[in-house]
Amino acid sequence: MNKEKIKEICEQYEFWNNLDENSKNKFVLETIIEKYSKKQIIYNPTQKCKGIIKVLKGNLRIYMISDEGKEVTLYRLYEGDICTLSASCVMEEIMFDTFLMAEEETEIMVTNILVLKSIMEKNVFLENYIYKKTVTKFSEVIWNIQDLLFTRLDKRLALFLLKQEKNNEITLTHEQIANHLGTAREVISRTLKKFEKEELIKLSRGKITILNSKKLKDIL
């Protein structure tokens, strides 16, 4: 993708018109397009900060991994969404490590962290934008943690299935669902079996078919 196209996408940022021409040129020159395949890790805590990420196609899962290897999904990003937690080295207040993974074939636009930092030091509009986006995502993280701690698993699982289905099908393993919901695979398998017995879903290898979405919604 050429720089003219990247510039067109950059112009969609709400802070863009408050940058001077030199900053705009630096921003575009240091912005690239990256493509990732399904399940590919985009970022992990051992890597350098990536900077601002804008999702152009596909979707990302942002999650944490405990010392025991348990995964907890913090939030997801879809086409048009912005991720600023990947620019955490700009915001020293962020003290936890996150992973970013492409859940399907994904294309993102990434702006170099050093350029981003140099512009932020001189431009309050960009700085406010970064903090505003970060606070919004932290609110989503807190909501998800609250849901994890205080909502019954059957409700969380029913909602997850309804959100993930495409043409009434979910192509995820029990292990993957357990990682998304922050629980054990055995617990997910047991709850899915219960749903199947109630004729809400049909289980098959690597796939779940929703038979009665209305009754699944009634669980919520």
Distance, in Å, from the CA atom of 201 to the CA atom of 69, rounded to the nearest integer, reads 29
pLDDT over 90 at 88, yes or no: no
Write out pLDDT tens, residues 6-30: 999 999 999 999 999 999 999 999 9
Distance, in Å, from the CA atom of 157 to the CA atom of 219, rounded to the nearest integer, reads 10
Residue-level pLDDT at 90: 61
pLDDT over 70 at 92, yes or no: no
Question: What does the pLDDT average to over 64-85?
Answer: 83
Contact indicator for 42, 36 with CB cutoff of 8 Å: yes
What the chain holds in terms of domains, given with CATH numbers, is 3-149 (2.60.120.10), 151-219 (1.10.10.10)
| CA separation, residue 157 to residues 90, 164, 177, 179, 215 (Å) | 36, 10, 8, 12, 13
- pLDDT band at residue 109 using 50, 70 and 90 as cut-offs: very high
Tokens of 88: 């955490």
Question: What does the pLDDT average to over 168-186?
Answer: 88
Write out pLDDT tens, residues 30-70: 999 999 999 999 988 888 777 889 999 999 998 888 777 77
Residue-level pLDDT at 7: 93
Residue-level pLDDT at 183: 84
- pLDDT band at residue 147 using 50, 70 and 90 as cut-offs: confident
pLDDT over 80 at 3, yes or no: yes
Q: Is 153 exposed, middle or buried (0-12, 13-18, 19+ CB in 10 A)?
A: middle
Residue-level pLDDT at 95: 54
The 8-class DSSP code of residue 49 comes to P
Question: What does the pLDDT average to over 181-200?
Answer: 90
Q: Name the least confident of 71-75, 159-163, 187-191.
A: 71-75
Tokens of 135: 């606070």
Question: What does the pLDDT average to over 147-175?
Answer: 89
